[in-house]
Amino acid sequence: MTAALWYALAGVGLFALGLYAMAVHRHLLRKILAFNVMGAGAFLVLAGLARRAPEGSADPVPHALVITGIVVTVAATALALVLMLRVREATGAAALPEDRPD
Amino acid sequence: MASAVSALGWGVALILLPLTGAVLAFVLRPLATRVGVGTALATTLATGGLALALVETGSGRYPIGGWEAPLGIALAADGLSLLMLAMTAAVGLAVSLYVPGYFRDKPRASADFWPLWLFLWAGLNGLYLSADLFNLYVTLELIGLAAVALAALAGSADALAGAMRYLLVSLVGSLFYLLGVALLYHAYGSLDIAILAEQVAASPPVWAALGLITAGLLLKTALFPLHFWLPPAHASAAAPVSALLSALVVKGSFYLLLRLWLTLFGAEAGGLGTLLGLLGAGAVLWGSLQALRQTRLKLLIAYSTVAQLGYLFLAFPLATGLAWGAAVYLALAHALAKAAMFLAAGNILMFGGHDRIADLDRVAQRLPLSVAAFALAGVSIMGLPPSGGFVGKWLLLQEAIAQGAWGWAAVLVLGGLLAAAYVFRVIGYAFTQAEVPQEPHAVPATLGWIAFLLALGAVLLGLVAPQPLALLGIGAPLGEIGTAP
C-alpha cells in the first residue's frame, strides 16, 4: 500500500459518502454540502495520484486540475445556494417537491 | 499543416465570439438584444467559415498558444464536431431570432437571457472543439451552469424546483466524469484524447474510468431510467429555453460519450454497449408511453425528448460506422424538430395563455403556421419519409436487420407508432373546439415563421442525407470506419 493509494482510497470513500448523503438527505443545503463532499473526494483522488513515482517529485498537472475544479465547484455552489433560497421563497421549503412531507 | 491550423482559427473564433458577446450583453444590459442577435449572426458565419475550411483541408488540430500536447491543450475539429457545431448554429440562430419577439413585453427576462445563452453557446462550441479530457470537463460545467440558470429564468415555483434538481443532477454527473478522468490520467499520464487513444488498453483503471465516465454522461444525457430530472426542467422553462435545452444541451453530453466511446473505449466496452442499447429501448418505449399520458403540451414534448434520446443509444450495440452515422443524423434531425416543436408550443402558450392539450380550442385555424410547424416537426419525430428522422431510423433499421438483431428493429418500429399516436393526439385537439372559450392574445407572425422554418429544415434534412453523412467522414474517428450507406 503506497501513500498515493491511501489518498485515492480515502477520496473514493469521500465520494461514495457524498453520493449517499445526496441521495438520502431532503434538505437542499444538505444536498449541496453532499455535493461538496463528493467534489472533495474527486479532488483528493486527483491530488493523491499525482505522486506517480515513489521517489520523484509530484506531478504538477493534477494540482492545476484540482485548482480549476475548486473554482468550478465554488461557482456551482454559489449558484446552488441562490437557487435554494429562491426555491424556499417560492414554495416555503428548502426541499424538492418530491421530498416534501405532505 | 499550416492550412489545417488556419482552419481552426475559425474554431477559436467560435469560442471567443459568443464568450465576448456574453460579457458585452451582461455589461450593456439595455443593448443586450442587439448584442445578442449580432453575436448569433457572427457565430453562425464563423461556423460556416469553419465548415468551408474543413471541407478543404480535412480535419484540423490547433495547439493553443503554440504548445502542443502533452504540454499544451489542443483544439481539434473533424466531421463529427463540425456537424454538431452546425446543428448548434442552426438551432441557436433560429432561437436567437425568436427571442426578441417572444420576450418583447419582458425586457428584464430578455436582458437576463442573452448573457446566459451566449455563455451556453460558447460552452457547447468549446465542447465540440476540445481535444483534452479536462477541458471537456470545464466545458461540461459551463454548459450545465448556464443551462440551469436559463431553466430557472421562468421564475415560477415549478421552474425553480426543476432547475434545482437539474443542477444537482448535472453536478453529480460532472463529478463522476471527473473521477473517471482522474483514473485515466493516473494510468496514462495524459489528458489528450489522441494520445490516450494510442495507449489505452484493457486494464482495471480503464474499465473503472469507462464505467464512471459513462454513468456521469448518461445522467447528463437523461437516458432512461436516469431521465427523471428532464421533463420537469425542460417543460417549465420559457419556450425558447426549452428549445435550447432539449435540442442542444442534452446532445452535448451525448456527443462526448459518443466520441470517447469511438476513440477510447469502443474495444474495451464488451457487453456495456448492449446494456446501453437496452436502456435506449426502454427510453423509447417508456418515454413515448409517458408522452401519450401527458395533459400538458410542453410536458408531452419533453417526454418525447426522453424517447428520442433513446434512439441515439440503439447505435451502441450495433456499433458499425453506418449505425454511428445514423445516430448522429437522428441527433441532428431531432435538434431541428424538437426546437420547432417547443417554439410552436411557445406560440400556442402565448396565444391561449395555457398549454392544456384538451383545451387547445381550434388553434389550428387561428394559429395555422405554428400548428403546421408542430405537425411537420412531428413528421420527423415519427420518422416518416422524407424527413431527417426517417433517414436516421431507416439507416438504423437497415443495420439492425443486416445484423439479424430483430429486437432493435422492433423497438424502432414500435417507437415510431407511439410517436405518431402522441403527435396526432395534439393535432386532433388543435382542430376541435374547447368547452370553455378563451381570450386569445396576438402572436407576432415572425414567431410562427421561425418555428415553421426549423420544422421544414428537419423534413428537408432527409432529402440532403448524403452530404451530412459525407461530412461525417472528415477525419477520425468516423472517417476511418466509413459511414456511407
Residues contacting B59, CB < 8 A, separation 6+:
B4, B76, B77, B78, B79, B474, B475, B476, B479
Cβ atoms of B142 and B123 closer than 8 Å: yes
CB–CB contact B134 A83 (8 Å): no
The answer for B 226-245 residues in CB contact with A (under 8 A) is: none
> Under an 8 A CB cutoff, do A62 and B185 touch?
yes
Q: For residue range A52-62, what is the model confidence (pLDDT) as tens digits? A: 655 667 778 88
B171/B173 Cα distance (integer angstroms): 5
Any domain includes A58: yes
Candidate from B156, B168, B182 with C-beta closest to A42? B182
Per-residue confidence (pLDDT) for residue A54, from 0 to 100? 56
Rounded to a whole number of angstroms, the distance from the CA of B225 to the nearest CA of chain A is 16
What confidence score (pLDDT) does residue B258 get? 93
Domain boundaries, chain B: 285-485
**Containing structural domain, residue A12:** 3-96
Decide: residue B352, CB within 10 A, 0-12 exposed, 13-18 middle, 19+ buried: buried
Return residues 120-159 of B near A (CB < 8 Å): 134, 137-138, 141, 144-145, 148-149, 152, 156-157
| Residues B181/B144, Cβ–Cβ less than 8 Å | no
Closest CA in chain A for residue B191:
A61
Q: Does any domain span residue A101?
A: no
Estimate the crossing angle of helix B406-431 against helix B272-293, to 10 degrees: 20
Within 8 A of A91 by CB-CB distance, chain B residues are 157, 160-161
| Domain membership flag for residue A10 | yes
Tell me the chain B residues in contact with residue A76 when contact means C-beta distances shorter than 8 Å. Answer: 141, 144-145, 167, 171
| Helix, coil or strand: residue B132 | strand
Residue B70 preceded by cis peptide, ω within 30: yes
Decide: B255 and B118 in contact? Cβ < 8 Å: no
> What gap in Å lies between CA B473 and CA B481, rounded to an integer?
8
Contact B39/B118 with Cβ under 8 angstroms? yes
In a domain, A19, yes or no: yes
Selecting from B134, B137, B152 the residue whose C-beta is nearest the C-beta of A83 gives B152
Q: What is the pLDDT of residues A5-42, one digit of tens each?
A: 888 899 999 999 999 999 999 999 999 999 999 999 99
Residue (of B55, B41, B47, B56) closest to B87 by Cα position: B47
Strand partners, A64: none
Task: State how far the Cα of B152 lies from the Cα of B131, in Å rounded to an integer.
Answer: 31
Q: Number of folded domains in chain A? A: 1
The alpha carbon of residue A43 is apart from the nearest alpha carbon of chain B, in Å, by 8
Interface of A with B (CB under 8 A): 8, 12, 15, 19, 22, 28, 31-32, 35, 38-39, 41-42, 45-46, 49, 52, 59, 61-62, 65, 68-69, 72, 75-76, 79-80, 83-84, 86-87, 90-91, 96-97
- Comparing CA positions, the residue from B293, B149, B310, B169 lying closest to residue B230 is B169
Q: Which of B184, B188, B178 is nearest to B215 (CA)?
A: B178
Q: What does the alpha-carbon distance between residue B184 and residue B137 come to, in Å, rounded to a whole number?
A: 13
Q: Give the angle subtended at the CA of B443 by the CAs of B438 and B445, to the nearest 5°.
A: 140
The b/e string for A60-89 (b: 16+ C-beta within 10 A; e otherwise) is ebbeebbeebeebbeebbebbeebbebbee
Q: Inspect the interface and report whether the beta carbons of B145 and A96 lie closer than 8 Å.
A: no
With CA atoms as reference, the chain B residue closest to A19 would be B172
Between the two ends of chain B, the Cα-to-Cα distance in Å is 31
Q: List the helix and strand counts (H, then E) for chain A.
A: 3, 0
Locate the chain B residue with the closest alpha carbon to A65: B134
B195 touches chain A (CB under 8 A): no
Domain assignment present for A28:
yes
Q: What is the CATH number of the domain that holds A72?
A: 1.10.287.3510
Please report which confidence band the pLDDT of residue A1 belongs to, taking 50, 70 and 90 as the band edges. low
Question: Do the Cβ atoms of B183 and A45 come within 8 Å?
Answer: yes
Q: Does B116 touch chain A (CB under 8 A)?
A: no
DSSP collapsed to 3 states, B153-209: CCCCHHHHHHHHHHHHHHHHHHHHHHHHHHHHHHHHCCCEHHHHHHHCCCCHHHHHH
Compute mean pLDDT per 10 residues along chain B, 485 residues long, and list them. 62 94 94 94 94 85 76 85 94 96 90 96 95 93 96 92 95 96 89 88 88 95 93 94 96 94 80 92 95 94 95 91 90 95 93 86 85 94 90 92 91 94 92 75 90 94 84 70 46
- Looking at chain B, which residue has its C-alpha nearest residue A78? B145
Q: B134 contacts in A (CB within 8 Å)? A: 65, 68
Q: Which residue of chain A is at minimal alpha-carbon distance from B163?
A: A83
A49 and B138 in contact by Cβ < 8 A? Answer: no
In a domain, A48, yes or no: yes
A45 to B161: CB separation less than 8 angstroms, yes or no? no
Label residues A12-42 b or e (16+ Cβ within 10 Å = b).
bebbeebbebbeebeebeebbbbbbbbbbbb
